[in-house]
Amino acid sequence: MKRKIDRAWIFPIVVLLLGWWHRLDVQKGVEECGDRWLMTGYFVLLAAVVCIVLYLGYLLLGALPLERVYVFTGLLLGLFFMFVLPPLTAPDEISHYVSAYRLSSSMLAQRDTDRYGRVLLRPEDAWVEDLESVFRYQADEDGILQVTEESRKDSVRLGEVLDEDMYRILKELGFNGQYMPERLKLLHEAPVASTYPPVVTTPLAYMPQAVGIAAGRLLGLGTMPLLYLGRLFNLLFFVAMTWLAMRRLPFGKEVLFAVALLPMTLHLSASFSYDVMIMGGMFLFTAVCLDLAYRAERVHVRDVLLLALLMAAVGPCKMIYAVMMGLCLLIPVCKFGGWRKWALAAAAVFGAWAVAMVLVNSQVVASYATETESYVQWAGEPGYTLNQLIHQRILLMRMFYQTILWQAQQWHFTMIGAYLGNLDEVLDVPYLVVCAFTLGLLGLAFKKPGETIQISIRQRVWIFLVCAGCVAAAMLSMLIAWTPLSSKVISGVQGRYFLPFLPVFLLALKNDMVVLTKDRNRSILYLMCCMDGYVLLRLFSIVSMRL
């Protein structure tokens, strides 16, 4: 063990050297903009990253159980990603923030929307949608300030582009400052209607974020503390769910640990995104299914209720993960006590999902099933309908085939986290680092000396079919909702959609043909932590140069 810890010093030394190199990028940005505090901030980040990497190495290469080590790792790295990639920079985060804000108003017994369904914001929070002060307001019949349609065109919101200006805003605001306080006086303390619509989904998807926002509002805090509290509570929820999943997993804990260490996973976990609910819920759902299939002696009622609750919570967020219910078929019927109890359990899980879908997404499902014409608003063109695709199966197969051929690399990159922020290609993770993360996942998934494979060949095939079904469902949904007729490939499918079922896919790769010579699981996890530290330093340097 001592020898292993001694060798581990190499990783933080490499991180330190690479961080020292990237200080030149920060220095270049400072010379252009004159903000010397960026250099101070970078050195603080560099020192903190090296210290955290050393601490995580001590934990990982020690004797602590993996699930306990993960709690420290997930929280520490998540907090660093939260601050290096500030609020509202994650994919669609502004819409998730508005949705959580709406739920926080309901928690506080305050009016959450106006008569038109727009979310109501405190006047001191309205600036996040209008950094350039171009909005013009008119009071409606209820005294609520509405943004005029003409003034929306040239508005810039917080986090729309992550550049040096955003870091400057955060520094100037400090802990509880007010952005352009003179504008607040013009609003006369009247509630302001948001220009962003809330996401139509189950309120459970925004419960952690809303609790954080509600706590900030009760304490009378400003906008930035509200944003960070919402993100923090979402991060805590994700770490707790992943920890529960890791405890429940009968094997492959290190694989789930590694998926939680991917840059994209860390970025999403420390944001307002409802992907936190999806990933956490599906991680735990997978763990319970595998535990019941390979370790537990029998299935209890509480297990069925947990599976039903998880599927009801995640289902309305993204319908594509309903396919994950297929993992329940890995559980032997004898563990239920016979076919009758098995059927009742299956009906409970499927029924919970179906009821949640009817309550939340019935209108969306009905429109997809019955519409004869479609219009893709972002492209300004007609789109595909489900009825059309059913009658043109060759077209559907061609679109699937071409998309897989042309988009597979993009899916891989965006799953690992090559492009962070709102899929911003400037905020990139180097290709070699993406490859290293990928090799790390495979190294953790493959069989080690003396390890017993518990998943049979037939079960592995079924798991691959379930994962393929999730991919196909994602492609079909985006083909109908997001792809114009003129496109040769399906638009809108992102690699982050694959993260919820990535752990079980990796676990199914274990076989007797590829066997590693040594067990280096903890060393691989430590290397991934070090790469996350490097990613943080690189991102800060890129933002500092982006003027």
CB 419 within 8 A of CB 413: yes
pLDDT of residue 144: 92
How far is Cα of residue 4 from the mean position of the Cα atoms in its chain?
A: 33
pLDDT of residue 36: 93
> What are the residue ranges of helices labelled H in 201-317?
207-218, 223-248, 253-261, 263-269, 275-294, 301-314
At 88, list the tokens. Answer: 């509202």
Question: Which residues have a Cβ under 8 Å from the Cβ of 68 and sit 6 or more positions away?
Answer: none
Residue type for position 256: L
How many angstroms separate the Cα of 89 from the Cα of each of 66, 268, 310, 420, 495? 31, 10, 28, 9, 17
pLDDT of residue 438: 98
**378: buried, middle or exposed (CB in 10 Å: 19+, 13-18, 0-12)?**
exposed
Residue 544: count of CB within 10 angstroms of its CB: 26
pLDDT of residue 353: 96
For the chain, the distance separating the N- and C-terminal CA atoms, rounded to the nearest angstrom, is 47
pLDDT of residue 214: 97
CB 138 within 8 A of CB 111: no
pLDDT of residue 365: 78
Residue 453: count of CB within 10 angstroms of its CB: 12
pLDDT of residue 6: 54
Query: Phi then psi for 383, rounded to 5 degrees?
Result: -125, -170
Residue whose structure tokens are 């509570």: 233
Return the domain boundaries, the chain: 105-225, 371-516
Question: Could you write out the three-class secondary structure of 313-346?
Answer: HHCCCCHHHHHHHHHHHHCCHHHHCCHHHHHHHH
**336: buried, middle or exposed (CB in 10 Å: 19+, 13-18, 0-12)?**
buried
Residue 509: count of CB within 10 angstroms of its CB: 18
Q: Report the run of H or E that residue 193 belongs to, with start and end.
A: strand 192-193
Compute the Cα dihedral for 110, 112, 115, 120 and give only its sign.
Answer: positive
At 286, list the tokens. Answer: 């997978």
Q: Which of 511, 542, 63, 70 is nearest to 266 (CA)?
A: 70
Residue 278: count of CB within 10 angstroms of its CB: 23
What three-state secondary structure class fits 190?
Answer: coil
CA distance 406 to 399: 11
Mean pLDDT per 10-residue section of the chain, whose length is 547 residues: 61 93 94 92 97 93 93 98 96 96 97 94 94 90 90 89 93 88 82 93 96 96 96 98 98 97 98 97 98 97 98 93 97 96 97 94 78 83 90 94 96 96 92 97 94 94 98 95 93 96 97 90 95 97 91
At 150, list the tokens. Answer: 């003409």
CB 378 within 8 A of CB 372: no
How many residues comprise the chain?
547
